[in-house]
Amino acid sequence: MQAGALTGQGDGQGAAQAGGKPQYTQDQRALQQQQQRLLLLRHASACVAPKGSCPKARADAANRERLERQRKITMHMQLLAHAIHARQCDKQGCKVPGCDAMRQQMRAALKQQEEKDARRRQLMKSWYRERAQRARSAPKSGSAS
């Protein structure tokens, strides 16, 4: 592969310039990442820096952490969009993968919360009744005769 294909020069497939940065195709990005990993391995085989102090390895670790954070954020956003769809969707047999299952889970959680609230309300009502009964049956003090 020519170096020009990765820099956005050459065949013109990845040459669309947007804001000074070349736009790569998915295959070009994968190839570039693979080449970067190979260069890092090549460097690591000859590096004499003490373990954990090589600036190239630290930069690569920071890049991996950044990519992992992005992946988690992307997954979270997808899950959120999926949940919003499931909450609003009312089609039985919806084509969105997992929509029916998520809708059922949401309904079950809502039912469970409603039951919990009903038990709490019932306990509070009985507590107020007992309190009122005790107040009525308690002797009145402070009456001067």
The pLDDT score that the predictor gives to residue 2 is 46
Q: Quickly count: other Cβ atoms within 10 Å of residue 88's Cβ.
A: 8
14 close to 25: Cβ distance less than 8 angstroms: yes
The CA dihedral of 14, 16, 21, 22, to the nearest 10 degrees, is: 10
The pLDDT score that the predictor gives to residue 97 is 83
Q: Find, among 120, 76, 26, 71, the residue nearest to 14 by Cα.
A: 26
* 134 vs 142: CA distance, rounded Å: 17
Q: Is 46 exposed, middle or buried (0-12, 13-18, 19+ CB in 10 A)?
A: exposed
Q: What string of pLDDT tens digits covers the 145 residues of the chain?
A: 444 444 444 444 444 455 566 777 888 888 888 888 778 777 777 778 777 677 877 777 777 788 788 888 888 888 888 888 888 888 888 888 888 888 899 999 999 999 999 999 999 999 999 999 998 887 766 555 4
